Structure 1
Amino acid sequence: MKTPLRAMILVLLLASCGGSSSNPPRDLDNACTILKQRPEYHRAFKAVERKWGVPIHVQMATIHQESKFVGDARTPFRYVLGVIPMGRQSSAYGYSQALDATWGEYLSAERRMGAKRNRIKDATDFMGWYMNISRQRNGIPLTDARNQYLAYHEGHTGFNRASYNSKPWLVGVASKVEARSLMYRDQIAGCRLR
């Protein structure tokens, strides 16, 4: 076997062993473990808490629901006749599952043309921006994970119209986000983080 071929095989093997944004942290039920395992997450969450005022536990619970901390998460494919793929259910992508149009609004409003949805610091900054608009337009406190999630899912107008009331499954999901947020809050209070 020639040396360049060996080198290429070695590089491919090493690259396949490395972590990526598609690999979530272990133990998603433990905020301390997540923050210790991924210090870049902790830095991103703290930056958003300082800039936008959204508590770390609210950010974490929302990301857990949206992507389970998978940076390149996408919605499932739609199928015709159960076998023919017809595209994805929506344009939602990344940690925050931001839709193309809403992400575009964020990029323009914040002048962050280089931001990427699969980068934790950009995804969390987007969430802070969006949740502040929810606070301004709909009066939702930044600490209210349940209603922030409903506005995040339904959009500001949908939340204002209470469109979620016709979706009992979504109301149930929002309650789970709230419960996870409170669990993360209590865990973080006991964490020994830098």
Structure 2
Amino acid sequence: MCEFEYSKKVLLRLRRGLRFAALSFVLLSLFACASSPPSNTSNICDIFDEKDDWYDDAAESKKRWGSPIEVMMAIMKQESSFKDDAAPPRTKILWVIPGPRKSSAYGYAQAKDGTWDWYMKSAGRWSADRDDFDDAVDFIGWYNHQSYKRLGIKKTDTYRLYLAYHEGHGGFERKTYRKKSWLINVAKKVDRQSKRYGQQLKKCEKRLQSGGWWIF
């Protein structure tokens, strides 16, 4: 009787252990899939096919703020390469010891602490996280809308929108970018990427709007 009870307890513990291991594997797999960047970041259709919630999130931001999807996605690609936990590299103390980061920029949109706080308050999105794509793409749309309101930059002008995004509205007004030839080149690169994304999106947006591939 004792041996039977002991064996029963061992089997129950083994079963619980297997369940826990299986659940842990599933959760880790889901986390890995959710946090990994798209395989092909040069094609917006491939991005939205792989990340099947991202198109709806980007379309919702466009609807709310009027910023074209290709513009927001080109800015995000430049800022983080679609990495959810992207952050500036740490400084080095005595060339070896990791020090503080150069700025508080973080997440898909590389938004700084103060600007993100402004966004949450202005947009009423108090639970927004910088490492969530839907919040990050909404932030970019919101910021472009602020650039339009304050600076008069057209929402299709990716070049100037990116300069304002990088330098801040005050910096753009002071034309700080004029002394940064590297930044001007980056802004031109983002503009070209936006145009490519826009051309690609024309070929797949109707399908994305209908919910993906239809199989008959």
1:16 corresponds, among 23, 28, 35, to 28
Worse-superposed segment, 150-159 or 166-175:
166-175
Q: How does 1:1-194 map to 2 (within 5 A)?
A: 2-3=13-14, 4-18=16-30, 19-191=32-204, 192-193=207-208, 194=210
- Please give the root-mean-square deviation of Cα atoms over the aligned residues, in Å: 1.6
Distance across 1 between alignment mates of 2:35 and 2:59: 22
Higher gyration radius (CA): 2
Q: Deviation digits for residues 110-137 of structure 1, max 9, x if unmatched?
A: 2211111111121111111111111111
One-letter code aligned to 2:27:
A
Query: Runs of 5+ in structure 1 lacking a partner?
Result: none
Aligned-partner SS, 1:39 = coil
CA gap of 1:39–1:106, structure 2 versus 1, over 3 A, is same
Distance across 2 between alignment mates of 1:183 and 1:161: 30
Query: Runs of 5+ in structure 2 lacking a partner?
Result: 1-9, 211-216
Percent identity among equivalent residues? 40
Aligned-partner SS, 2:183 = helix
Distance across 2 between alignment mates of 1:11 and 1:78: 39
Q: CA deviation at 1:21?
A: 4.3
Aligned-partner SS, 1:87 = strand
Distance across 1 between alignment mates of 2:33 and 2:50: 13
Q: Is the 8 A contact 1:22 1:73 kept in 2?
A: no
One-letter code aligned to 1:61:
A
**Number of residues paired by the alignment?**
194
Distance across 2 between alignment mates of 1:79 and 1:13: 36
Distance across 2 between alignment mates of 1:10 and 1:87: 38
Structure with the larger helix share: 2
TM-score scaled by length of structure 2: 0.84
Q: Deviation digits for residues 43-95 of structure 1, max 9, x if unmatched?
A: 11111111111001001100100111112222211111221111222111111
Q: CA deviation at 1:101?
A: 0.3
